[in-house]
Structure 1
Amino acid sequence: MSKSQGMSRRRFLGTSLGAAAALTLSPSFLALAQNAAPIMRAIPATGETIPAIGLGSSATFAQVARSEDISAVRAVMDRMHQLGGRVFDTAPSYGASEEVAGQIAQDLGINESLFWATKVNVAGRGGGSADPTAARNQLETSFQRIGKEVIDLIQVHNMGDPDTQLALLRELKEQGRVRYMGITTTFAEQYEHLIRVMNNEPLDFIGIDYAVDNRDVEDRILPLARDRGIAVLVYAPFGRTRLWARVGDRPVPDYAQEFDASTWGQFFLKFVLSHPAVTAATPSTSRPANMEDNIGGMLGRLPDAAMRRRMIETVDALPMV
């Protein structure tokens, strides 16, 4: 992706919806797409823009990737690309996801146009020292699986020995083999460590968990990312499955129309994207219909500060699960 790859409404409709004409798209998606350009966000380090909704490959995606029939993950990756998504987040620890997705993307001919984000961690979750040789081997395996000479983003997964593994990523970045580097965690007990690394390392990205009912990162991590010019990928914007269990079969509030959300998925994603520090969210799914719904989360208006408070009140009033 080049720095100039912003996407106008006309280009979105022409290249994305035009290519997807054979797909069965929901009337609500089509209506919104006719009148709204996709939300693009700039990566602070370079100004390059990427679509604000992508695809993660943990959870159900990973489960399907391990199966003999991978047609569902092929379909969801194809749908994401056809509808304007570009960011694909994976990791060696997500079972077969990285390998299967790499092969599918090459088969579909979309490999070069995706913004590939993968990870490295041979130290384990937040502990121990990484074996540099093992980490290098893991990184080289990722290059082979993804099938690109240059990977867009590699992050240290779950705070695994940042000193060793960030040093390896710096080497790859200096060699021109990695465009961006970062670090991730989705564990609250690792937040203090993450903050120390953010303050002391030249990071391009962080990846964190954030949702309308999981807002701890708003206190220090998201403001620090803005101050330091660090892009933010959001994982688990649905609280994995927690938010779906909380809303049950309740209808989406009528006021969601004010920010162009017609489903709970779009409600949750638009809350996340409305935080100014967030660059993109990568919810995982193995269903094309869900991928379409998620892409709808980066179309149209976003809630303002007052609306965000109203959304929080709505969700906080739901039963805990």
Structure 2
Amino acid sequence: MLGGLATAGAGGVALGAHHENDAMGKLIYRAIPSSGEKLPIMGLGSSATFQRIAGSEDVAAVKGVLSTMVELGGTVFDTAPSYGASEQVAGQVAKELDITQKLFWATKLNVAGYGGGKADEKAAREQLERSFQYAGKEVIDLVQIHNMGDLPTQLPILREYKQAGRIRYIGVTTTFQTQYEAFVQMMKDETLDFIGTDYAIDERHAEEMILPVARERGISVLVYAPFGRSRLWSKVRGKAVPEWAKEFDAATWAQFFLKYVASHPDVTAITPATSKPANMADNMRGGMGRLPDAAMRTKMVALIESL
């Protein structure tokens, strides 16, 4: 443990005891509880901005973002069949860059939709097989049921694929507030490797509801929307990053926001989406160097809430 004793932070967990790599330039790694395998804490998501460049078939832009992530030590790439052409284009680009096997490929399954519909088992299997084709991998690292779509039908399919050795890890996601209560109960009832959910300095519900259960149940956490679904950027527009952010090696607002999320010890990896290599590099540095302790996290929240 570095920097003295950890103190309890939001959600009653110990904070400040997870500066795995203090030297700036070294990426922080977190272990997957179900296996002990370690992942770099910063990755790339493919919704939003990335989805747009993939949809426009801007292959050069996709190449720039993916290659930047890998060059700086990142491996986690999160996608989904519902993210337009993201899954297909990223798979094609990864093959061209010869980085397919370097990526921790995380995709999703959901043919039920988000309105509580019933999944067709045949369609679910067909969607999975397309994901294998797009990823260009015989074994996909992680497949999660997207937004809790018909778990009784789709989760057994993922378990079957995992048992057959075609999927390494399985999980369930949600970013819908209306699903949080059922999501937490599902985490208690099911045996999962991963969950994925939204978490940001101005969207802290996960600290109270979700992350404590993930810790108790030994479930890895992928974080989506770490920039608060873009509202954070309007709050800080035209404002300088506070001088005291240097104490945890945050030189930009992106690093400030990402280091808040990364400093929660139950977060395994964060997957912000971007369409620009420069932003990808900035994001990766949010997973390097020192992280804020409990007192600093409180100070960070107070600043954002004052804007």
- Above 0.5 in TM-score? yes
Instruction: Please report the TM-score for the alignment, with normalisation by the length of structure 1.
Output: 0.88
1:181 has 2:177 as partner: no
SS of the residue aligned with 1:130?
coil
Bigger relative contact order, structure 1 or 2 (CA pairs below 8 A, ≥6 apart) = 2
Which residue of structure 1 lines up, in the alignment, with residue 292 of structure 2?
Answer: 303
Superposed, which structure 2 residues align to 1:17-32 within 5 Å?
A: none
Which residue of structure 2 lines up, in the alignment, with residue 198 of structure 1?
Answer: 187
Which residue of structure 1 lines up, in the alignment, with residue 83 of structure 2?
Answer: 94
Query: Structure 2: which amino acid aligns with 1:178?
Result: I
Which residue of structure 2 lines up, in the alignment, with residue 226 of structure 1?
Answer: 215
Higher mean C-alpha deviation, range 61-70 or range 243-252: 61-70
SS of the residue aligned with 2:144?
strand
Counterpart Cα distance in 2 of 1:68 and 1:39: 32
Counterpart Cα distance in 1 of 2:26 and 2:181: 37
Which residue of structure 1 lines up, in the alignment, with residue 116 of structure 2?
Answer: 127
- Any unmatched runs of 5+ in structure 2? 1-20
Counterpart Cα distance in 1 of 2:47 and 2:173: 14
Change in 2 beyond 3 A, CA 1:176/1:68? closer
User: Does the CA contact (< 8 Å) of 2:23 and 2:289 recur in 1?
Assistant: no
Instruction: Please report the TM-score for the alignment, with normalisation by the length of structure 2.
Output: 0.92
Query: Structure 1: which amino acid aligns with 2:77?
Result: F
SS of the residue aligned with 1:207?
strand
1:34 CA drift (Å): 6.8
Which residue of structure 1 lines up, in the alignment, with residue 248 of structure 2?
Answer: 259
SS of the residue aligned with 2:107?
strand
1:33 CA drift (Å): 9.9
1:116 has 2:112 as partner: no
Q: Percent identity?
A: 62
Change in 2 beyond 3 A, CA 1:166/1:126? farther
SS of the residue aligned with 2:228?
coil
Which residue of structure 2 lines up, in the alignment, with residue 60 of structure 1?
Answer: 49
Which residue of structure 1 lines up, in the alignment, with residue 13 of structure 2?
Answer: none
Query: Structure 2: which amino acid aligns with 1:212?
Result: I
1:271 has 2:257 as partner: no
Counterpart Cα distance in 2 of 1:101 and 1:313: 38
Change in 2 beyond 3 A, CA 1:306/1:271? same
1:205 CA drift (Å): 0.3
Residues 256-314 of structure 1 deviation map (CA, whole Å, 9 limit, x = unaligned): 00000000000000000111110010000010000000010111000000000000000
Q: CA RMSD in A?
A: 1.3
1:185 CA drift (Å): 0.6
Counterpart Cα distance in 1 of 2:195 and 2:145: 9
Which residue of structure 2 lines up, in the alignment, with residue 283 of structure 1?
Answer: 272
Change in 2 beyond 3 A, CA 1:273/1:34? closer
1:220 CA drift (Å): 2.0
